[in-house]
Structure 1
Amino acid sequence: MQHQHPHPENHLTSSAMLQDIVIGLSDGLTVPFALAAGLSGAVQSSGLVITAGLAEVVAGSIAMGLGGYLAGRTEVEHYAAELQREYQEIAEVPHVERAEVDELLQEMGLSAATRAQAVRELTADPDQWVRFMMKYELGLEKPDPRQAPKSAFTISTAYAVGGLIPLSAYFLTATPTEGLVLSAVMTLVCLLIFGYLKSRMTGQPPVWGALKMAGTGALAAGAAFLVARQFERQ
């Protein structure tokens, strides 16, 4: 008897948390850095940059966390509304819903005889029928109602951590110009590392992911710095 070796399934199972970390950390690294870079071109005090930067990190962290929570709650409410609508439709127009089940099964490549049996079995149980329609007609998976507060905490924390990295350079230097140089180096390195690791975890080309993440941050900071310079000259 031959022993079959199990095939390793290397799938990413924590996609929701990873997505929240990516959203929070990427914005946390780029937005406060862009703000600090812009202020560095307009003021002569590192204290002002630090004060404004900390205020932005706190406000941004709260706003991002709230946005993540509202997005999660909206997904739950949307699923609940569509679920109720599907139950109503199979009760009021079951012949139409059965025809839609048959059409979906036909798109999957099932024969007429197999479809007829599958339709009978799927529509025998209203709960099973509705779950099928939710997934294959509407493309909706049941969301975790606990995900909204989890997303809020993860995004908010990731944003705060990301935002403190570029801002910390101004605590270590005497002038905004020196702080900007150190902050740029620190942020660029973090963006490269973060972009590389994120791409590796999601199965994307890691080097390209690192360069894309760093390029996005550099463009945002450069735009903010140039705008601040223009206001300073006026």
Structure 2
Amino acid sequence: MTTTSTYLHREEHLRSSDVITDVVIGMSDGLTVPFALAAGLSGAVSSSSLVVTAGIAEIVAGAIAMGLGGYLAGRTESDHYQSERRREQIEVDTVPEREKEEVRAVFADMGLSLTLQVAIADEMARDKTKWVDFMMKYELGLDEPNPNRATQSAFTIGGSYMAGGLLPLLPYFLIDVPTQALLYSSGLTLLCLFVFGYVKSKFTGQPPLGGAFKVMLIGALAAAAAFGVARLFGA
């Protein structure tokens, strides 16, 4: 009696990497910049309300600026792809034999025989849309971007920035003395930075603990520098 075992191979790949990238960009700056601002103001003012007011103003301005930057980056990516696609379409229409040579070169690099290279190039030339798709991906290395990428990027980065930026300010809503509120803000923010760095490193395949400590250290140094400068000039 023969027993046949079936091995099911599951490929686990990171999906929605664009969204994750946008969250990382927005959240990392959102946690760090308002935290450093609040720390700096805590060394220069005597009321937590001033820190809250300045912090909220910075979060709104920062979220808009970061979101706009994400939108422009998304539009630039889309415009670049469409520009290259139009150029490739013109080349397919005007110099098809040269484009076939480029197709054959791609498959030659893959180790296919000359006979197969010629057959595939001739077959591909029957459908110009798929031909251009192939050239965009394998000659130019460009994937067609999501048409909604720019808008999604703007809202994701801006929203992540606001979410991250509000965390360092929470103690200032509850404690009137800025230097006391800073102690709680530091503990909360550094913990969030550690968790954020750990999760980000997990998603990107980096050593989690090393990434967590690195992100936390950057935030701590930025806040300490801002606090020290404010104290120095305040004195």
Band the TM-score falls in, shorter-chain normalisation? over 0.9
Aligned to 1:175: 177
Aligned to 1:56: 58
Aligned to 1:221: 223
* Matching residue's letter, 2:91: E
Does the 8 Å CA contact 2:49/2:176 hold for their aligned counterparts? no
- In structure 2, which of residues 81, 84, 97 is the aligned counterpart of residue 82 of structure 1? 84
2:228 and 2:104 mapped to 1: Cα distance? Answer: 60
**Is residue 42 from structure 1 mapped to residue 44 from structure 2 by the alignment?**
yes
Aligned to 2:112: 110
1:62 and 1:98 mapped to 2: Cα distance? Answer: 47
Alignment of structure 1 residues 81-160 onto 2, 5 Å: 81-160=83-162
| Cα distance, 1:193 vs structure 2 | 0.6
Aligned to 2:7: 5
**Is residue 23 from structure 1 mapped to residue 25 from structure 2 by the alignment?**
yes
Write out per-residue CA displacement over residues 115-166 of structure 1, whole angstroms, 9 at most, x where no aligned residue.
Answer: 1212212222211111111101111101111122222111111111100000
* Matching residue's letter, 2:49: G
Aligned to 2:213: 211
1:95 and 1:117 mapped to 2: Cα distance? Answer: 13
Alignment partner of 1:86: what SS? helix
1:220 and 1:102 mapped to 2: Cα distance? Answer: 53
| Cα distance, 1:3 vs structure 2 | 4.2
1:156 and 1:133 mapped to 2: Cα distance? Answer: 35
The two structures have a TM-score, normalised by structure 2, of: 0.93
RMSD between aligned residues:
1.5
Query: Identity percentage over the alignment?
Result: 57
Alignment partner of 2:36: what SS? helix
Number of equivalent positions = 233
- CA 1:219–1:108 in 2, change beyond 3 Å: closer, same or farther? farther
1:139 and 1:223 mapped to 2: Cα distance? Answer: 43
Alignment partner of 2:165: what SS? helix
Aligned to 2:201: 199
* Matching residue's letter, 1:61: A
- In structure 1, which of residues 172, 184, 187 is the aligned counterpart of residue 186 of structure 2? 184
Q: Structure 2 unaligned runs (5+)?
A: none
